[in-house]
Copies of this chain bind each other. A is one copy, B any other.
């Protein structure tokens, strides 16, 4: 039900995804009549791998967290996350309010043992042709070194699982490469990461700078949620600016239009490569369940990419692997919460 467009985007995305992925089955959570109508509109009402789970309420973009967490008990967001909690779904994908999604997920699923705070992790393209994983992107605007340390561990476990890179490299986002650079939090984080590197737990590259994100210097870039959010949104803004400027130039004269027409293959391929929709689908990392966030303004293609990201995470058993890794690596803090068995439950779903 979430996002700027609701089922008119999420339902076609779901149909396209199950058609492309024969192993996938999707539960569409929300107002039954709305979803059924949308399915019928696409002649997919009888699709064997698409089913509706009714939820009568919707978390609005401006609902206070309290409302999302405790009042709207039959919201599509809450019902979808409950399905993950109960093992009926391997992962949840939502285009709804990020803050509410994180709050409800934490409330229902809880964090993994050893994780204080879940982080939002997304992928960005880089010059080497691979993705750069970056976290946190806004869940935690004030971070202590141990939080950044946890982000590095859970990010490494994620990349190891999804990208099948046993020792992904981790960079700590800073204002310079040298150890003396940066604020106290970053300097203290570097000490923790270096210690893990020496123990062979993490593959810590050292400090990286803003340009390294798109250069692909490391597989993972760790930063606090304030910096990550600003960098991500600034990149989106710059991308739009560049795209508009290029379009305007190609339309500026008949000759330029002709050239652009002749080179349309290059322009189309460039646009496809730069299309941010393909990187849509951020992971809420550190929870006892897989939850993915789609950008609210995405089109059906973008939402389908977010579903694919969730599907790949479930297929690669990411949750069990992160849980095992963090269990081995982290100084355990809350083993007494009886949490140890949860992740296994989840991945058998």
Contact = CB atoms under 8 A, between A and B. Distances in A.
Pick the most buried of A226, A233, A238: most chain B CB atoms within 10 A of its CB: A238
Contact of A231 (B127, B210, B215, B273): B210
A240 interface: yes
A121 to B, nearest CB: 16
A241 B183 contact: no
Contact of A141 (B182, B226, B239): B182
Nearest to A138: B175
B241 A238 contact: no
A98 B258 CA distance: 46
A238 B237 contact: no
Given A212-B237, A213-B237, A175 B230 contact: yes
A236 interface: yes
A230 B263 contact: no
Interface in A214-231: 214-215, 223, 225-227, 229-231
Interface residues of A, number: 63
B173 A230 contact: yes
Given A210-B237, A229-B210, A230-B209, A245 B270 contact: yes
A211 B231 contact: no
Contacts of A253: 265-266
Interface in A108-140: 125-127, 138
Interface string A243-268: 01110011011011111111111110
Nearest to A241: B214
B262 A258 contact: yes
Contacts of A257: 263
Contacts of A226: 175, 182-183, 186, 227
Given A141-B182, A256-B266, 9 more contacts: A127-B240, A141-B183, A175-B225, A212-B237, A238-B238, A249-B266, A249-B273, A258-B262, A260-B266
